[in-house]
Amino acid sequence: MDITKKVWEILLTEEEINNRITQLGKQLSDEYRDEKLLVVSLLKGSFIFTADLVRKMDIPVKIEFMTTSSYGHSEASSGQVKILTDVGDDLSGYHVLVADDITDSGLTMKYVMAHLSKKNPESVKCCVLLDKPDRRVVDLVPDYHGFTIPDKFVVGYGLNYGDYFRNIPYVFVVTDKDR
């Protein structure tokens, strides 16, 4: 499928995304105001969301990155989560907030949260831009989310098609219609 020749149906505009992230940033600032907060961004997809989210927070935030893999270039998770880049071994004293672009099957987020819980944090919660509960295969409800979306393959705002289109400032769905 040549995505550039298909119709892009905008699911979430740049303005809608910005407004919701502003709300999340305020909520998280209020909830973690007196805590040591470590935000762990799951690369590659969450880098735009995490950057925008932490800039909307008005509290001190430490930021780390993890790289995981379960998709490759497919539209569906392989079901096997691999940690390619990890954070430090001891998270004592920190409340950990895992930030990701999307939770659909829930496999990656559940795996990462369990992994980080073994590193002695005060707490581990997650915040995702997009929640796609219709695809959930594990018992996981994001602690914080921007939008609940239908079971469609989405691209843009950090979400990729192959290795491209992460830089699009909105979230779109590719339709079967040709341009």
Which one of the listed residues 100, 104, 131, 176 is annotated catalytic?
A: 104
Query: What are the CA-CA distances from residue 9 to residues 3, 19, 102, 125, 173 (Å)?
Result: 12, 20, 18, 32, 5
Check whether the bond before 82 is cis (ω within 30° of 0).
Answer: no
- Contact predicate 145/127, CB 8 Å: yes
Residue 32: name the closest of 92, 110, 91, 94 by CA. 94
Alpha carbon 176 to its chain centroid, in Å, reads: 26
* Residue 143: active-site member: no
Widest CA span in the chain: 53
User: Which residues are catalytically annotated?
Assistant: 104
